[in-house]
Amino acid sequence: MKATPLHSRIVQPHDDLFMVIDETIADDVQLNGKLQENCVLAISTKIISYCQGRLMAKVKTQKAGFSREETKEEKHELVKRETELYIDPHSSKYDMMLTIINSTLAVNAGIDESNASLNGEECYVLWPEKIQETINGVWQYLRKKHGLKNFGVITTDSRSFPLRWGVVGTTVASCGFKPLNNHIGETDIFGRKIKMVQVNVAEALGVAATFEMGEVGEITPFALLTDLDKVQFIDREPSKEELEENKIALEDDAYAPLLTNANWQKGGAAL
């Protein structure tokens, strides 16, 4: 597998996502304005959020007289509104909120403050709305525009990993390929039958893409993944049943002893 970051211009709030993608592909010297078969395009969730106008001004941090506690409370209230489930921030050493949004365990509902600007001022970048529908639309558009048969799209974000410092990538939504390679029923090198192994292809692609896209000032919110021998492309959008197959209920998760004993509270997105 090869992951190649794609440089773009600085995206502005409410820019047209398709136009930004077209410009990025057209400006890349190696692509020469054309996507090839058997590739997957990775798109940062932040770019989608910008194009959707999902930015929120930091009201209290822009005005004098507010304490550090008051500015943190502003973000906490925003997180509560945007997430499905959350844990009280005061249970965290870092005053952060563990949340579950879009079947993803995330810190602060994925709300980011880096590379974020609204009218020249600092702001919060919220997660995109209708993420799966958006990715499906991008897949349909690019597949038709470039005459592709085997092609996929993912949208990525960064996440922390329990018991390890540093962030890695994650895939929030995908289209155009099977997100899981199921090896149940196959045999290992000693002839033992595999009972549980499924490889999360979408997550693996998200990790590689995010690593190449970077986390700071690279201005590479896209990546093209090629040489994908283990990716099984499909010629349609994922069905509702297939999307549900990728999700695990808290009580069925291998980490259920931790997840089910946490003091989860319902956020605004769950109402």
- Asked if residue 243 belongs to a domain, the reply is no
> Per-residue pLDDT for 220 more than 90?
yes
Q: How many domains does the chain have?
A: 2
Flag whether 230 is in a domain.
yes
CB neighbour list of residue 209: distance below 8 Å, 6 or more residues apart? 3, 42, 154, 156, 169, 223, 225
The pLDDT value given to residue 70: 72
Residue 166 in any domain: the answer is yes
Among 52, 51, 60, CA closest to 21: 51
In a domain, 116, yes or no: yes
231 with 134, same domain: the answer is: yes
The answer to whether residues 102 and 114 belong to one domain is: yes
**pLDDT grade, residue 58 (50/70/90)?**
confident
Q: Is residue 207 part of a domain?
A: yes
Q: 68 pLDDT band (50/70/90 cuts)?
A: low
State whether 5 and 65 are in the same domain.
no
66 has a pLDDT exceeding 70: no
Whole-number pLDDT of residue 63: 60
What CATH number should be reported for the domain holding residue 231? 3.30.1330.100
Which residue range forms the structural domain that includes residue 77? 55-127+248-271
Q: Per-residue pLDDT for 211 more than 70?
A: yes
Task: State the CB neighbour count (10 A cutoff) for residue 126.
Answer: 22
Mean pLDDT of 182-188: 92
**pLDDT class of 261 with cuts at 50, 70, 90:** very high
Report the distance separating Cα 113 and Cα 111, nearest Å.
7
Q: What is the mean pLDDT of residues 130-141?
A: 98
- Reported for 108-112, long-range contacts at CB under 8 A and 24+ positions apart, including other chains, are 108/75, 108/79, 109/79, 109/82, 109/83, 109/267, 110/45, 110/157, 111/75, 111/78, 111/79, 111/82, 112/46
pLDDT for the residue numbered 72: 84
Does 65 score more than 80 pLDDT? Answer: no
Q: Tens digit of pLDDT for each residue in 76-115?
A: 999 999 999 999 988 888 889 999 998 899 999 999 999 9
Q: Is residue 90 part of a domain?
A: yes
pLDDT band at residue 271 under the 50/70/90 scheme: low
So what's the pLDDT on residue 64? 57
Residues 6 or more apart from 46 whose CB is under 8 A from it? Answer: 112, 115, 125, 157, 221
pLDDT of residue 71: 75
49 plus 61 within the same structural domain: no
Do 134 and 224 have their domain in common? yes
Chain Cα centroid distance, residue 92: 23
Asked if residue 217 and residue 193 are part of one domain, the reply reads yes
pLDDT of residue 246 exceeding 90: no
User: Which pLDDT score, from 0 to 100, does residue 231 have?
Assistant: 97
9 and 40 co-located in one domain: yes
Residues 191 and 231 in one domain: yes
What number is the average pLDDT over the span 234-263? 93
If asked whether residues 12 and 114 sit together in one domain, one would say no
Q: Can you tell me the distance from the alpha carbon of 23 to that of 8, in angstroms, rounded to the nearest whole number?
A: 8
> How high is the mean pLDDT of the chain?
93
Q: Is there a single domain that holds both residue 177 and residue 257?
A: no
Q: Tell me if 200 is assigned to some domain.
A: yes
pLDDT band with cut points at 50, 70 and 90 for residue 248: very high
Indicate if 41 and 61 belong to the same structural domain: no
220 and 268 in a single domain? The answer is no
**Given this model, what pLDDT does residue 61 score?**
60
